[in-house]
Each structure stands twice: as C-alpha cells, then as structure tokens.
Amino acid sequence: MPGGSTWVRRSRLRSVLLLVFVLSECILSTSGATEQLSIQTLLAQAPSYELQVVTLRGVIKDMQAMPPIPQMGSKCRLLYGHATFVLEDDTGSLPVGVFGSCLPQATAFLPKDGDQVVLNAVIFTSKGEVPVRVWGQATEIRLIPDTTK
C-alpha cells in the first residue's frame, strides 16, 4: 500500500508528540512552582507545607554568609555561598538557609541586607517541639529590582 508507510509515520509522530506533551505537563505540575504565600499564612499552616516548595516575597535581614566549608567525600572540595538570613514581609519573618555551591563565585550572588527578593524554599518544621520551629531552605532566590533609584 503506497500511502500506508506515510500514515504509520504520521501516527507514530502524533503518538510521540502526545507523549512529550503529557510528560512536560507532568514535569511542570510537579516542578515546585507555587502561588506566592505570606509568611503569616505559611506559619499558621506550617505542618501542611512540611517538605513542600513555597514561594515567598520579602526583604532580606540579618544575612550571615559563611566562609567556604570543606566537603568530605564530595565532588567539590569546598562549598561556597552557604548562608542564613531572615526573610521578612508585612506579616512576619522566617529563617532561611542557603546550601551553597561548588562555584567560588556563589558568595558574590547572595542577596544583601535590605534586598527585596522572591524566593522558592523547601519548608521544614521541628516535630515534637513546642512551639514548633519553622524554617526554609532556599532553592531559588530572585532579586526584585529597586525602581526608586
């Protein structure tokens, strides 16, 4: 059948494209992108956000960048850009950690005190403690440009 092989190729191509579309939708829906929360909402419902990625907006306070940390048994010998800070919005504050990177330039890319940021963070809570402690581990930090300058 002369047109049969063309039909089979088109059918396979449609199947492959459908599979790619379905897989990309699954990846996007689980990529961690979330609606932006207030810190007050996060703290009030902390157990339901345990180990979830949330998006928060606020101002960096008390930035503490650590010196490079030796890494035993790891591909990178030193970890750069490891830091902690407090993220504040109009509703509350949240301690946040930054794991760091193998790249020596990582420290230069950390936000500074007073910077406005939007960040994604995995949320952790202390189980069994009263009061419950809540903190975030940043997975992405985006600076918000200062439009007043």
Please give, one letter per residue, the 3-state secondary structure of 87-118. EEECCEEEEEEECCECCHHHHHHCCCCCCEEE
pLDDT at residue 3, as a whole number: 55
pLDDT at residue 28, as a whole number: 38
Local confidence pLDDT in tens for the 149 residues of the chain: 555 555 444 444 344 333 333 333 333 334 455 689 999 999 999 999 999 999 999 999 999 999 998 888 778 889 999 999 999 999 999 999 999 998 999 999 999 999 999 999 999 999 877 788 999 999 999 999 877 76
Neighbouring residues of 103: CB distance < 8 A, sequence distance ≥ 6: 80, 81
The predicted model scores a pTM of 0.74
Dmax (CA) for the chain in angstroms is 76
SS3 of residue 43 by DSSP: helix
Burial class (CB in 10 A: 0-12, 13-18, 19+), 137: middle
pLDDT at residue 5, as a whole number: 58
Domain 36-143 in CATH: superfamily? Answer: Nucleic acid-binding proteins (2.40.50.140)
Residue 5 to residue 9: CA distance in whole angstroms: 6
